[in-house]
């Protein structure tokens, strides 16, 4: 019996050092310009739920400007103009040339109706140069993309990735110009097909310990704004170290839970 227990303990120790499944990469089918090509870069652990913030997020690089006029309100498509209390955004009054969002996941949605790559690169340059912090609020669901930047045929919008926490997020959802520029340039690099690009993804953005949320973004042609709200993306990426320790902890907990059962089976086999 002592040998059996020693064996089971060694199994637990070995499993605690097992790493999660290695990342995988699905090659995009760029020759099919009329289909929806979704490319998942990595296999990630489930995304953490956004932290509920108490009150408006504190100023990171600036003091938020008051919501006013057409400058602050996002241009919405015809399908959204009928909504009286739809989502809207406003920006800070000072430039903030730093990123507040961590590494993003990506999924490609490039097809014949996608935005022009040249316009999206220009949008990225504009966002990086402006460098403002953009706040978005007023979402009633997680399938409405709010356009916060546009240039020619290319639009960049954000939305909440989870519907069940929308009313608990008081601070709203937010990105900085540098975050927009980074994901747009990465999407162009990985999903450009014949001078067109379309993509979506999720990233975790933090203003303070009390104000941090998961944000889903999309790059689309304005005529795709409604459809882009239904694009799916891989969860927010987690660091390899975080995944390994979390995976080991869960695996070890499962084995420990089964330890009494295994011992009972062993006793029956030797009786």
- What is the pLDDT at residue 167? 85
57 and 123 share a domain? yes
What is the value of pTM for the model shown?
Answer: 0.60
In the predicted structure, residue 253 carries a pLDDT above the cut 70: no
Are residue 2 and residue 50 in the same domain, yes or no? no
Choice between 253 and 43, residue whose per-residue pLDDT is larger: 253
| Residue 68, in any domain of the structure | yes
Asked, for residue 37, whether it belongs to a domain, the answer is no
Residues 116 and 182 in one domain: yes
CB distance 45 to 237 below 8 Å: no
Report how far residue 135's alpha carbon sits from residue 244's, in angstroms, rounded to the nearest whole number.
Answer: 34
Tell me, yes or no, whether 38 lies in a domain. no
What is the DSSP secondary-structure string of 144-156? -PEEEEEETTEEE
Residue 29 lies in a domain: no
Kindly report the number of other CB atoms within 10 A of residue 118's CB atom: 16
Q: What is the pLDDT of residue 124?
A: 97
Q: Do both 266 and 249 map to the same domain?
A: yes
Whether residue 243 sits in one domain with residue 174 = no
* Domain housing 50: 46-237
Question: Cβ atoms within 10 A of the Cβ of 102, count?
Answer: 15
Max CA pair span of the chain: 82
pLDDT score, position 60: 52
Do 194 and 260 share a domain, yes or no?
no
Model pLDDT for residues 150-159, shown as the tens digit of each residue:
999 999 999 9
**Are 119 and 167 found together in one domain?**
yes
Q: In what helix (H) or strand (E) does residue 171 lie, and over which residues does it extend?
A: none
* Residue 33 within any structural domain of the chain: no
Model confidence at 134, pLDDT cuts 50, 70, 90, reads: confident
Confidence bin at 1 (pLDDT 50/70/90): low
């Amino acid at each position: 019996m002592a040998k059996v227990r020693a064996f089971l303990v060694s199994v637990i120790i070995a499993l605690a050092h097992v790493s999660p499944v290695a990342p995988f990469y699905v090659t995009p089918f760029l020759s099919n310009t009329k289909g929806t090509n979704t490319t998942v870069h990595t296999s990630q652990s489930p995304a953490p739920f956004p932290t509920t913030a108490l009150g408006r997020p504190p100023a990171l690089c600036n003091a938020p400007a008051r919501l006013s006029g057409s400058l602050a309100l996002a241009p919405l498509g015809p399908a959204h103009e009928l909504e009286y209390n739809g989502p809207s955004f406003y920006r800070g009054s000072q430039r903030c040339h730093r990123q507040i969002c961590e590494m993003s996941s990506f999924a490609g949605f490039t097809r014949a109706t996608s935005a022009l790559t040249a316009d999206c690169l220009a949008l990225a340059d504009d966002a990086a140069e402006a460098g403002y912090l953009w706040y978005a609020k007023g979402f009633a669901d997680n399938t409405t993309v709010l356009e916060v930047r546009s240039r020619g045929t290319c639009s960049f919008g954000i939305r909440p990735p989870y519907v069940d926490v929308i009313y608990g997020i008081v601070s709203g959802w937010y990105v900085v110009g540098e975050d927009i520029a980074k994901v747009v340039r990465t999407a162009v690099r990985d999903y450009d097909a014949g001078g067109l690009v379309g993509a979506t993804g999720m990233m975790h953005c933090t203003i303070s310990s009390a104000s941090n949320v998961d944000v889903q973004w999309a790059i689309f042609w304005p005529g795709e704004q409604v459809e882009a709200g239904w694009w799916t993306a891989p969860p927010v990426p987690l660091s390899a170290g975080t995944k390994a320790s979390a995976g080991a902890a869960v695996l070890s907990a499962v084995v420990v839970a089964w330890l009494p059962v295994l011992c009972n089976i062993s006793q029956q086999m030797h009786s």
